[in-house]
Amino acid sequence: MPGKTDLSRLNCSLARALGAVGDWWTLLIVRDAMFGVKRFSDFQHSLGIARNILSSRLARLIEADILARQGTEARPLYVLTAKGRALLPALVALMQWGDAWQSDGKPPVVVTDTAGRAIKPLGVRSPSGASLDSAGVRFAPGPGADKRTRAFFKARDVADSD
Amino acid sequence: MPGKTDLSRLNCSLARALGAVGDWWTLLIVRDAMFGVKRFSDFQHSLGIARNILSSRLARLIEADILARQGTEARPLYVLTAKGRALLPALVALMQWGDAWQSDGKPPVVVTDTAGRAIKPLGVRSPSGASLDSAGVRFAPGPGADKRTRAFFKARDVADSD
DNA sequence: GTCGCAAAGTTTCATTTTGAAACTTATCGA
DNA sequence: TCGATAAGTTTCAAAATGAAACTTTGCGAC
């Protein structure tokens, strides 16, 4: 009975994203790949992850087209695809949240541009560029919303007077 | 032997963040809380999650100060704290990645400002505001980096000529 | 006040996943 | 050629998961 629930029944891009990267080892592997790690044993050493788990996760990341194998068959290099590299904002946003809320105030890792200047905090922005917090944001059914999603948000509109 | 690895040995804010929100149910619960869901049974219905798992995750989110219980003891409301709301950029970034790479091109959920205008894609930005992709970004030891982290990045500098 | 239904969990049970560590095979460099 | 390392695979036992039954409490209708 147990095993990973099939999240595809949830009509939601977040669920789809999490189907691919919704466990911590996967995101940590992507992090290390962003840092330039490429070899099995280097991932294993830097993460302290069990080798069977690493092997399984690498296979999944390849299956999901987030990582690709290069180099030789016997000495593979695992490199991010464009799809994998596109996870950078999410990864950095999570790091910044960790810096802000789960730390002692001193970030262990800084993210900079190529000139070494620290990047800005990621934020949600309106079309005019204004920074939005959760109070300034709305969620609504989009073009791919199914009936259930639409009903859900309709119910939310009603419930907003809670 | 098994059980969740203690990620605190990893000197990294991402790992710290993932210690709190590194499983898919947790992030999906936070998503629903962002959407305005507050009641146990509403979370359970919208997510289709097993009730014991939901109960366990809600408790963890409260322990981590991401959610707080309000309302009555018998009829609690689960609401995001400031710390929880600060996960918005990460959540939206993951959603946008899912929209871009794990979908059929039609987002089921759109994120807008209060005037209903779709927000911009989140991105990593330099201090001058320029958008950076993974090639334009560097990672370096920060003020909280330990010896291992510094050695790791030093090794990366050497390995960059791979 | 009573009753029925729903809410908010808790418990049970069996399967799957995880993590430690041993094991295996192939490759590379001395 | 040999030894060390890389890249996994396998084994085993504990932990986590998910389905579903069960329990207790509260609320609203009558």
Residues of A in contact with B111 (CB under 8 A): 124, 137-139
User: Which residue of B57, B102, B103, B153 to mutate against A (max A Cβ within 10 Å)?
Assistant: B102
Q: Taking residues A83-98, what's their average pLDDT?
A: 97
Nearest CA of chain A to the CA of B105: how many Å? 8
User: Model confidence at B162, in pLDDT bands (50, 70, 90)?
Assistant: very low
Q: Which amino acid is at B37?
A: V
Structure tokens at B128: 């001058």
- Tens-place pLDDT, residues B6-48: 887 788 999 999 999 999 999 999 999 999 999 999 999 999 9
In three-state secondary structure terms, B114 is coil
3-state secondary structure B31-92: HHHHHCCCCHHHHHHHHCCCHHHHHHHHHHHHHCCCEEEEECCCCEEEEECHHHHCCHHHHH
Residue nearest to nucleotide C14 (CA to C1'): A1
Model pLDDT, residue A4: 78
Model pLDDT, residue A162: 39
Asked whether residue B1 carries a pLDDT value surpassing 80, the answer given is no
Q: How far is the CA of B58 from the C1' of D23 (A)?
A: 20
Using the beta-carbon criterion (under 8 Å), do A107 and B142 form an inter-chain contact? yes
Residue A2 CA to residue A4 CA, distance in Å, equals: 7
Model pLDDT, residue B161: 44
Q: What domains are there in chain A, each with its CATH number?
A: 7-85 (1.10.10.10), 88-122 (no CATH)
Least confidently predicted of A80-89, B111-120, B153-162: B153-162
Is the ipTM beyond the 0.90 threshold? Answer: yes
- Tens-place pLDDT, residues B113-139: 999 999 999 999 999 989 999 999 999
